[in-house]
């Protein structure tokens, strides 16, 4: 393995995520193949880092083979699909072994990734000889590379056209008409469906009902269209999703604003019913849709026994990677505590680390009038290495033990259970199991200080340019003033005219005018 995905630093306040890699010497010594890292997840998209080898253009002076060889590095988007595009700010940094001020980096702002161009980077990042001469590589030929990513945006665009009849053949590349995504007993109204795309590890598409659907009779009778975001994979869990839909094109499209939806175990959600008709937004029978995906988080909801004789049992649950967990209620305190244990900790690969982040909620009330209460201290995160058993993590709640024992407690069901929702945020499998959560503090501080120093250096450079500009302007003004002073200080030389030569015409006219007025 040539590119080891080692650290995944937690995001700072700006939302920037930093991934660190250890690049082995095979990247430099094996020119026959390009090297690609394992996949990483950022902004609900899958990515990888790839190295390439190339030669510099030969000049007049002959160079050795090592001097001509250069390394290129690329950020590769793994979820490319037609109609889908992703924008991201990223920075690659080669870490120098002597001082951070001589690190080698390059960055891009709002870099666009598309189906046609899924990789972006620098094909001439650094020469192979500079890796050793400038002290980036150690004696074993290994060096460290950091990738920081921020402001990841996912936008999907598509067009759907309504057929004259349901049986009309439609181009399968742009619009498909599969079986209904609703209940089998429901009649099938005319619907239009876009191609699928990937986000958050699932496949999705948009379904448009030009004249409404049977789930909303009122809007169906009024002929107003409905839009649904449908999840096509990952039916083992429910999923909380946030997105923005835009209908039509031009200066004034119809926008939904941020929508928070809950995709159930069958991939269905509440959808969006705008107060428009098909004819209001479609042009020549074709509707332009634009969708920006914001979040897609997997949900596990469990009922934990809180009342009953004897020891309270643990309730099993599974994360999005089908890893087993168990959660138990602890009533040996003033407030209820939840004890979460990672049951599959022994399945983690040896010499690897699994980073998991999640958010926990308590559910109050009954369907459909439920309310979720965030647990204090959320989100939670932890690094897990291979072990025989996990001691677990304690999550505090604001629910008192005496409240649980009250018959009218809205958090407790008739069976004496409290309902808990676990929302799985991130999961990364990292190399080298010696890393610990306390190491995050130092690495985050390191990144923050480097960023602040870089900002101060940029500010200092800008001030130096301003000072140089002021000095240049001042020198120019002084030179002009000195030139004018020299001109005025010169003695005036009298002009002698010949006796028979007339004065200039304007002087003659002035004299004649004065004589007339006299």
- The contacts of residue 399 (CB under 8 Å, 6+ apart) are 335, 336, 362, 411, 418
3-state secondary structure (DSSP) of residue 402: helix
Give the pLDDT band of residue 10 (cuts 50, 70, 90). Answer: low
pLDDT in tens, 418-443: 999 999 999 999 888 777 777 777 77
Rounded to whole angstroms, what are the CA distances from 240 to 79, 263, 418, 507? Answer: 20, 6, 21, 94
Mean pLDDT of the chain: 83
Burial class (CB in 10 A: 0-12, 13-18, 19+), 173: exposed
Give the pLDDT band of residue 169 (cuts 50, 70, 90). Answer: very low
- The contacts of residue 236 (CB under 8 Å, 6+ apart) are 265, 318, 322
Q: What percent of the chain has pLDDT over 90?
A: 50
The matching CATH number, chosen from 1.10.1740.10, 1.10.565.10, 2.30.38.10, 2.60.210.10, for 2-55+68-153 is 2.60.210.10
SS (HEC) of 10-42: CCCCCCCEEEEEEECCHHHHCCCCCEECCCEEE
DSSP assigned state of 486:
H
Architecture of domain 306-431: Sandwich (2.60)
Q: Which residue has the higher pLDDT, 3 or 40?
A: 40
- The contacts of residue 260 (CB under 8 Å, 6+ apart) are 240, 241, 242
CA–CA distance, 141 with 138 (Å, rounded to integer): 5
Backbone angles phi, psi at 125, to 5 degrees: -65, -55
CA–CA distance, 512 with 510 (Å, rounded to integer): 5
> What value does the CA radius of gyration of the chain take, rounded to a whole number of Å?
35
pLDDT in the model for residue 57: 62
CA–CA distance, 119 with 111 (Å, rounded to integer): 10
The pairs formed by 118-122 with CB atoms below 8 angstroms and a separation of 24 or more are 118/76, 118/77, 118/78, 118/80, 119/50, 119/74, 119/75, 119/76, 119/77, 120/74, 120/75, 121/50, 121/72, 121/73, 121/74, 121/75, 121/92, 122/72, 122/73, 122/74, 122/92
Give the pLDDT band of residue 86 (cuts 50, 70, 90). Answer: very high
Pairing outcome for strands 380-385 and 371-374? unpaired
317: Cα separation from own chain's centroid: 28
The matching CATH number, chosen from 3.60.15.10, 2.60.210.10, 3.40.50.620, 3.40.50.300, for 189-298 is 2.60.210.10
pLDDT in tens, 177-187: 433 343 444 44
Rounded to whole angstroms, what are the CA distances from 319 to 69, 163, 217, 263, 268? Answer: 45, 42, 37, 16, 20
pLDDT in tens, 290-335: 999 999 999 999 999 998 877 789 999 999 999 999 999 999 899 9
CA–CA distance, 128 with 122 (Å, rounded to integer): 14
Nearest one of 194, 157, 198, 158 to 44, comparing CA atoms: 198
pTM of the model: 0.78
pLDDT in the model for residue 284: 85
């Amino acid at each position: 393995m040539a590119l080891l995905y080692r650290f995944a630093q937690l995001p700072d306040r700006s939302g920037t995520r930093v991934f660190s890699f250890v690049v082995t010497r095979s990247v430099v010594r094996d020119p026959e193949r390009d090297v690609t890292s394992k996949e990483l997840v950022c902004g609900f998209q899958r990515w990888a880092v790839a190295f390439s080898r190339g030669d510099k253009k030969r000049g007049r002076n002959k160079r050795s083979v090592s001097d001509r060889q250069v390394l290129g590095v690329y950020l590769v988007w793994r979820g490319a699909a037609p109609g889908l595009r992703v924008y991201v700010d990223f920075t690659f940094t080669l870490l120098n072994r002597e001082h951070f001020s001589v690190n080698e980096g390059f960055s891009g702002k709002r870099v666009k990734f598309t189906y046609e161009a899924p990789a972006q980077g620098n094909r001439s990042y650094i020469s192979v000889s500079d890796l050793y001469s400038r002290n980036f590589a150690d004696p074993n030929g290994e060096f460290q590379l950091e990738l920081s990513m921020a402001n990841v945006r996912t936008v999907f665009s598509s067009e759907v056209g309504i057929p004259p009849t349901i049986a009309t053949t439609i181009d399968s590349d742009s619009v498909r008409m599969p079986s209904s995504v609703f209940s089998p007993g429901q009649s099938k109204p005319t619907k239009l469906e876009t191609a699928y795309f990937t986000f958050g590890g699932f496949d999705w598409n948009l379904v448009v009902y030009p004249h409404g659907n049977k789930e909303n009779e009122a809007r169906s009778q009024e002929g107003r269209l409905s839009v649904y975001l449908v999840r096509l994979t990952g039916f083992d869990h429910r999923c909380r999703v946030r997105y923005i839909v835009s209908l039509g094109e031009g200066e004034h499209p119809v926008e939904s604003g941020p929508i928070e939806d809950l995709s159930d175990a069958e991939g269905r959600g509440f959808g969006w019913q705008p107060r428009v008709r098909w004819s209001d937004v479609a042009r020549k029978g074709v509707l332009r849709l634009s969708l920006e995906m914001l979040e897609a988080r997997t949900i596990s909801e469990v009922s934990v026994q809180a009342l009953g004789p004897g020891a309270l049992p643990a309730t099993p649950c599974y994360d999005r990677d089908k890893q087993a967990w168990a959660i138990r209620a602890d009533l040996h305190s003033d407030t209820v505590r939840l004890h979460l244990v990672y049951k599959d900790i022994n399945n983690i690969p040896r010499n690897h680390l699994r980073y998991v982040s999640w958010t926990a909620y308590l559910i109050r009330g009954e369907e459909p009038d439920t309310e979720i209460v965030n647990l204090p201290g959320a989100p939670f995160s932890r690094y897990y290495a291979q072990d025989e058993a996990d001691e677990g993590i304690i999550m505090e709640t604001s629910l008192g033990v005496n409240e649980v024992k009250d018959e009218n407690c809205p958090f407790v069901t008739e069976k004496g259970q409290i309902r808990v929702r676990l929302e799985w945020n991130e999961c990364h499998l990292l190399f080298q199991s010696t890393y610990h959560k306390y190491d995050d503090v130092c690495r985050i501080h390191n990144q923050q200080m480097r960023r602040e120093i870089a900002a101060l250096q940029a500010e200092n450079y800008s001030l130096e340019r301003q000072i140089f500009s002021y000095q240049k302007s001042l020198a120019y003004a002084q030179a002009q003033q000195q030139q004018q002073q020299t001109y005025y200080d010169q003695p005036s030389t009298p002009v002698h005219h010949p006796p028979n030569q007339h004065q200039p015409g304007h002087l003659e006219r002035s004299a004649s005018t004065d004589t007339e007025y006299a």
